[in-house]
């Protein structure tokens, strides 16, 4: 993988990632007359729960559903200037102009998977999907090493139903300076399991899931995708490497080589779940151990959709939003069977 670092007109960092063997890149200058980014998100702790909440009022002005010919994530071509000054790219990463986290609150980056505006991650080639995996790994390593960063979170939102405001295939990387609530809960659960059994919670979880054939969606030599026993979302799949590692930087070459085929297969199954012309909306989230500590946690990817039938969505209403108590309308075993059949 080749890495070329550039700077946008307002001082934000831009990084081009190209596969080995690609031509040498000459970084194009950003010709836009941009003012410096003025973002001052603040972290506040909810005293009733201990959770951290980010206040990022500047994001009200962020770009919202632009037409395809004004997409800020497409390459700069034909006199139209975008966030990517180059006329073409393979994978590009840049600091978000409207970040949820910045400065002492962390950092937000945008990861553009492809220069093509149409399609999605499932349309990538295995080679491009592997390049994206290597980019996630590089960002995890670099951001984790920064002072104050507690956890690096790589994720993708797809679909207007999820709240996506830019249709171009892309994901994000957040560098948190405080561990998010889900990580705090998993850390506590892993510690309690170790104290009670002497074993690692996630190793036991994966072993039980792999033994429960009715919840397994697909398995490879190094990875298994399964619906969790207590799935919260209508269609929710967790993808684990068989060997417990804390984060993306610790994956072996064999695990990296197998990942693109398994993940692309999984995404395409999601798109075949519903009888609709539009692709299935989803959130794809990498859970990694905190940068310092958290050795009991295991790297895994959680993929889920808010769609529960062809014409119905799962809304987080009174119980979920008010009490954080999930109620799922679809049995995990049924969801796994439907995904296995979505060939």
Point out the residues that are catalytic. 170
Angle at 111 between CA 235 and CA 150, to 5 degrees: 80
Strand partners, 306: none
Q: Considering only the C-alpha atoms of the chain, give the largest distance between any 2 of them, rounded to a whole number of Å.
A: 64
The conformation of residue 144, written as its DSSP 8-state character, comes to H
Distance CA 240, CA 225 (A): 7
At 178, list the tokens: 């405080």
DSSP per-residue codes, 231-265: --SSEEEEEEESS--SSGGG--HHHHHHHHHHHHH
Q: Establish how many alpha carbons lie within 13 A of residue 228's alpha carbon, considering only the half-sphere containing its beta carbon.
A: 19
CB 270 within 8 A of CB 235: yes
Sole residue written with tokens 């850390």 = 187
DSSP 8-state class, residue 183: H
Instruction: Measure the CA–CA gap between 209 and 218, rounded to whole angstroms.
Output: 11
């Amino acid at each position: 993988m080749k890495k070329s670092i550039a700077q946008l007109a307002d001082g934000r960092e831009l990084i081009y990632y190209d596969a080995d063997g690609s031509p040498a890149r000459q970084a194009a200058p950003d010709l836009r007359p941009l003012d410096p980014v003025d973002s001052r998100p603040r972290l506040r702790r909810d005293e009733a729960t201990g959770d951290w909440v980010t206040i990022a009022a500047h994001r009200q002005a962020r770009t919202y559903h632009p037409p395809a010919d004004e997409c800020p994530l497409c390459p700069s071509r034909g006199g139209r200037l975008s966030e990517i000054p180059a006329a073409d790219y393979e994978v590009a990463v840049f600091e978000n102009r409207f970040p949820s986290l910045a400065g002492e609150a962390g950092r937000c980056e945008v990861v553009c998977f492809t220069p093509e505006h149409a399609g999605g991650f499932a349309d990538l080639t295995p080679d491009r999907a592997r390049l994206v995996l290597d980019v996630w790994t590089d960002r995890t390593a670099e951001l984790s090493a920064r002072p104050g960063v507690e956890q690096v979170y790589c994720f993708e939102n797809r679909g207007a139903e999820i709240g996506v405001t830019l249709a171009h295939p892309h994901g994000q990387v957040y560098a948190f300076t405080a561990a998010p609530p889900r990580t705090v809960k998993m850390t506590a659960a892993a510690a309690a399991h170790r104290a009670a059994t002497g074993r690692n919670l996630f190793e036991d979880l994966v072993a039980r899931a792999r033994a429960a054939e009715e919840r397994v969606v697909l398995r490879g030599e190094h990875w298994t995708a399964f619906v969790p026993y207590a799935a919260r979302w209508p269609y929710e799949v967790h993808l684990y490497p068989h060997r417990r590692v804390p984060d993306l930087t610790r994956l072996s070459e064999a695990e990296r080589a197998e990942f693109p085929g398994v993940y692309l297969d999984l995404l395409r199954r999601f798109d075949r779940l519903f009888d609709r012309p539009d692709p299935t909306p989803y959130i794809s989230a990498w859970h990694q151990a905190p940068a310092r500590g958290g050795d009991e946690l295991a790297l895994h990817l959680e993929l889920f959709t808010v769609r529960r039938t062809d014409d119905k969505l799962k809304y987080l209403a009174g119980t979920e939003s008010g009490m954080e108590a999930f109620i799922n309308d679809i049995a995990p075993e049924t969801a796994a069977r439907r995904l296995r059949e979505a060939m």
